[in-house]
Each structure stands twice: as C-alpha cells, then as structure tokens.
C-alpha cells in the first residue's frame, strides 16, 4: 500500500471521475483484471502500470499497441509529477497528490443518482408500470453509459419476461436480442453477472446472436425488494436489470448502479401493485355495471294481475348470479311465470341466465302450453351447446278461472298451499340444455282464491348455518303452514326472515330466488 497518497483524475467516455491509487503496482487497461479498467478500444488489455520509486511515482508502458503518452510525449517509462497528463488511447489521466480531491467523483456521481431516485420517489405508485420501467431504464443508461438496457420481470409460473427495452437517448427498442442465460442466472442466484467480453466468456457459443450485433460487454444486476410480514422479513426478487454495450467498461459505476437498482425495485414493485389494484377496480366496476344490468333485465318484483298477486326477489351470492324470475301478464288474462337456475355462479352463469331469460320471454306471449314452451327453450339452449352448463326451470300459466298449467324441468318442486295442506308440483322432465330430444310433460291443478304458490331455487333449501346444517325443505314447509290467505308480500317476507335467522352470519353459498303467487 502506498504511503504517499495518489489520485488520478480520469476523463473518458464515462465522464470525469477520481480514482485512488491504493495498490502497487497499479495496473491500467481494458481487461477486467486491472485495478483501473478503461472502456476504450485503443487501450490494450494491460496497457500500463503505476509503480512507486521511493517517494516518487513512475508510469511504465506494458507493451501497449498504441503507446503511452505523458504530456503528449510517447514514453516507455517516466517519472510523474503533480499535474502531469497521461494519455492512453482516448483516455486522459491527470496526476493529483494528497487528499484534496479524494471522493469528489463519488460524491458527484451519487448526487446524480440521488436526484434520479428523488424523481422516482416523487412518482411513487401513481405512474403506470410501463412509464416507471422506462424512467428506471433511462436512468441506468445515463448513469453507466451503456448503449442498451433491458428490464425483465418475473411472471408467476412463466419465468422472466421482457417488459421494456431502451437505447441511449430514450429510444424504445421494438426488436432487440439479449443473452437468455445471463438474466436467468442472475435471477436464480441474486448476484451480479459482469461479462467484460462475451467472446472471452466460457459460454460464448450461447451468445452468438448478441455477439453478432457487436455487443461485447454485459452487466446484469437483480432487482430485489424486502418483504415484511408476520412470517418475518425476506428478500423477494422481482426481476433483473440488464445492460450491454459494444464498448467494454463502465465497471466503476457498479456501486452507484446497485443503489439505483435497489430503489428502482421498490418503485417498480409499487407501480406493479398499483396496476394490479387499478385492474381489479376496473373489473369490479364492470361487475357492478353487469349486476345493475342484470337486475334491470328482470321485471318489477311486484305485480297485481287479474288472476293473482305476485311478489318475487332474487339475490346473487356474488356480484352477478345465475338465477332468474320472469312473468308476463298476457292480454287473454293468463299470467305466464317462470323461475330458473343456471348451474354454477358468477359471470359465466349470468351470461347463460340472460340467454335463458330471452328464450322464455320469446315464448311467454304465445298460446303454447308449458310443456311445449319448455321443449322449445331446451332445444334453443342445446343449439348453443354451452359445455357442462345446464338449467333447471319451472314454467307455468295461471288462468283467471283458477286453472294452473305447469312444467317442471328438474327444478325444486314448488309448494302449493291450499286449504287441505301443502303439495308439491313435480310434473315435467329433465334439466334444460343437455339433451335436445328430452321429453316434457305438463301438469295441471285447479287453484282457489287465497291459495298460495311458492317457487324457489336450491339456494333457499341448501343454505347453511354456522354449523354447516342445510335449511332444507322441511323448514321451508313449516314456514308456509299458515301462508294461505296472507298476501304474497307477507309470505315472501316470512321466508326471507326465516332464512336469515337460520343462516345468521354464515356466508351465502348460492343465489337465492323466491317467487310467491297468491291466487285472487
């Protein structure tokens, strides 16, 4: 170690910086093994060295191709004095002694980095991910002097994916080839990978495409964030920052690049999380609109027709549901009504629900009997061939003279409450949408004023309480024991309150639909 401190003011393609001479001999050249590595094509792999002769310093050429110059004179070996200029290729070294300039370059460099990072912090998570990635990459290119930069982020189950590629001057690269092995290795190990010359790398044959572009020097560093939580802190790698250049060098900025990468990783992660929140909110907003539209497709929940008073309600367990009710008060005095339940829940079920409702609506005004209507709706659903989706449905006609005709396609049999007690309406056929040749029968009953018909989906009887016990048909039947003579609204309210009391705070597992008709 030298007892007479020496500093070199280096001016090259990376800018100006101060380097301390801490070892003797102090080697200078293009190779990574040197104490000072210069990104200059006119500098030899080991170009020159500084040696100490007592209290004096000497520079010695190491057989370089283009020579070593001191104050513009070519030398083989020469004693140096403060202020002397040493030229190697296109790089100039100015000799400084003492501690006056020590650290000045690093302070300058980090001021630039801190300014860049302050700008990124100001952005916070309010910028979209693509914009943040471009800002980070442009900062890294400016800091290191690299020609091209790439950010690859980890995608769950897919490995690293290229998110942005930029060149100096803020140019976005639409087509760019990089090494695949180096980013994968850096992401897997969490450590830097610096290749001074791709042609010297032991895996040079794997970089043929990159080398063909003239790219020789690669620096790749991981992007890491620290996780905090109940499981304790831990490192999470979110991707890699990959820089390359035709000029070899820029290793003196690795420390500053690490500071940039550490802060950039946090900004990128914030931007990614923000983008996820925005995407989820967009989906939630679309679901809210879909739920509103689905409710608007349903008829009013209350209807007072010539033959009956009707009150119905449907409550999806998610934003949108797979249950529906519909009715049409026909001009001939007949009330057509339907309740249906599409297998499944959520958005996919809601789409098929809209199709089913449309098919029933198209048949409601016709004079076809319930069995014929059900057969036509079944064929319509089968033509659409929605895989693994079927529909259970109950469709009926109630005439002014009390004649009730109906068809039950695999649906929960409704309760008919008469003066003589409760009965179930089961005549019909198979579920809809699976078998286009399915046969359907029509059932017929004669009802009297004050009789009550209660239709419901399996979301009622299969609702569970906190102990996992189902509500069941028996509990529903018990609620309907005194329903005859009461208004449709009162009966519906009784069913809803009874179901709510049974489930308590247990979450709904299925859509709930109830339709009550009181015969007039």
User: What's 213's DSSP letter?
Assistant: T
Reduce the DSSP state of residue 121 to 3 states and report it. helix
Average pLDDT of span 346-351: 71
For 412, residues 6+ apart whose C-beta sits below 8 A from its C-beta are 392, 394, 456, 457, 458, 460, 461
Q: Could you tell me if residue 433 is left (phi over 0), alpha (psi between -120 and 50 degrees) or otherwise beta?
A: left
Average pLDDT of span 207-222: 70
CA distance 449 to 248: 96
Q: Could you tell me if residue 158 is left (phi over 0), alpha (psi between -120 and 50 degrees) or otherwise beta?
A: alpha
> pLDDT tens for residues 417-463?
998 899 999 999 999 988 888 899 999 999 999 999 999 999 999 99
Residue holding tokens 């100001």? 122
Has residue 231 got a pLDDT over 80? no
What pLDDT score was predicted for residue 277? 72
Tell me which H or E stretch contains 94.
Answer: strand 91-97
> pLDDT tens for residues 278-315?
677 777 777 677 667 767 778 999 999 999 999 999 98
Average pLDDT of span 472-490: 92
Has residue 174 got a pLDDT over 60? yes
> pLDDT tens for residues 374-386?
999 999 888 876 6
Q: For 286, phi and psi rounded to 5 degrees?
A: -65, -35
Residue holding tokens 């043929």? 208
What domains lie within the chain, and their CATH numbers? Answer: 6-97 (2.60.200.20), 110-280 (3.30.450.40), 298-519 (3.60.40.10)
Higher-confidence residue of 118 and 63: namely 63
User: How does the average pLDDT of the chain come out, rounded?
Assistant: 82
pTM of the entire predicted model: 0.54
What pLDDT score was predicted for residue 180? 82
Reduce the DSSP state of residue 395 to 3 states and report it. strand
What pLDDT score was predicted for residue 104? 38
Q: Strand locations in 119-158, DSSP E? A: 148-155
Average pLDDT of span 497-502: 94
CA distance 240 to 205: 22
Write b or e for each residue in 441-452: b if 16 or more Cβ atoms lie within 10 A of its Cβ, otherwise e: ebbebebeeebb
């Amino acid at each position: 170690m030298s007892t007479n401190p020496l500093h070199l003011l280096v001016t090259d393609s990376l800018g100006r910086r101060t380097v301390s001479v801490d070892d003797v001999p102090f080697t200078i050249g293009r190779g990574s093994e040197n104490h000072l590595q210069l990104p200059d094509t006119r500098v030899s792999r080991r170009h020159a060295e500084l040696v100490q002769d007592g209290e004096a310093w000497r520079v010695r050429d190491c057989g370089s191709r283009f020579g070593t110059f001191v104050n513009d004179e070519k030398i083989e070996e020469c004693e140096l004095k403060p202020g002397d200029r040493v030229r190697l290729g296109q790089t100039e070294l100015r000799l400084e002694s003492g501690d006056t300039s020590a650290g000045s370059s690093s302070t300058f460099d980090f001021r630039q980095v801190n300014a860049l990072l302050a700008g990124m912090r100001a952005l916070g998570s309010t910028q979209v991910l693509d914009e943040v990635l471009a800002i980070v990459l442009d900062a890294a290119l400016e800091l290191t002097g690299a020609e091209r930069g790439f950010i690859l982020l980890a995608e769950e189950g897919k490995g690293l994916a290229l998110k942005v590629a930029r060149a100096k001057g803020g140019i976005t690269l639409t087509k760019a080839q990089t090494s695949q092995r180096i980013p994968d290795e850096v992401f897997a190990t969490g450590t830097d990978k610096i290749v001074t010359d791709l042609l010297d790398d032991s895996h040079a044959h794997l970089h043929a495409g990159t080398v063909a572009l003239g790219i020789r020097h690669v620096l790749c560093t991981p992007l890491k964030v620290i996780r905090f939580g109940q499981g304790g802190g831990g490192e999470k790698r979110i991707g890699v920052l990959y820089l390359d250049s035709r000029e070899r060098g820029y290793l003196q900025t690795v420390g500053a690049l690490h500071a940039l990468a550490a802060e950039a990783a946090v900004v990128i992660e914030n931007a990614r999380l923000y983008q996820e929140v925005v995407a989820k909110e967009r989906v939630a907003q679309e679901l809210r609109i879909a739920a509103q539209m689905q409710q608007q497709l349903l008829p009013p929940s209350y209807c007072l027709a010539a033959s009956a008073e009707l009150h119905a309600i449907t409550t999806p367990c998610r934003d949108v549901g797979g249950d529906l009710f519909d009715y049409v008060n026909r001009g001939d005095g007949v009330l057509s009504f339907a309740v249906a339940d599409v297998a499944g829940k959520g958005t996919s079920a809601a789409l098929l629900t809209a199709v089913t409702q449309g098919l029933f609506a198209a048949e409601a005004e016709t004079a076809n009997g319930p069995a014929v209507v059900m057969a036509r709706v079944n064929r319509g659903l089968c033509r659409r061939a929605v895989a693994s989706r079927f529909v259970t449905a109950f469709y009926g006609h109630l005439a002014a003279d009390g004649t009730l005709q109906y068809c039950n396609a695999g649906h929960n049999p409704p309760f008919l409450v008469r003066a003589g007690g409760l009965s179930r309406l089961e005549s019909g056929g198979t579920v809809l949408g699976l078998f286009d040749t399915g046969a359907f029968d029509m059932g017929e009953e004669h009802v009297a004023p004050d009789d009550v018909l209660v239709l419901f989906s399996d979301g009622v009887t299969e609702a569970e309480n906190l102990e996992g016990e189902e509500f069941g048909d028996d509990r529903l039947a018990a609620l309907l024991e005194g329903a005859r003579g009461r208004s449709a609204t009162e009966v519906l309210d009784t069913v809803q309150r009874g179901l709510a009391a049974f489930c308590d705070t247990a979450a709904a597992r299925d859509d709930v639909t109830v339709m009550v008709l009181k015969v007039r």
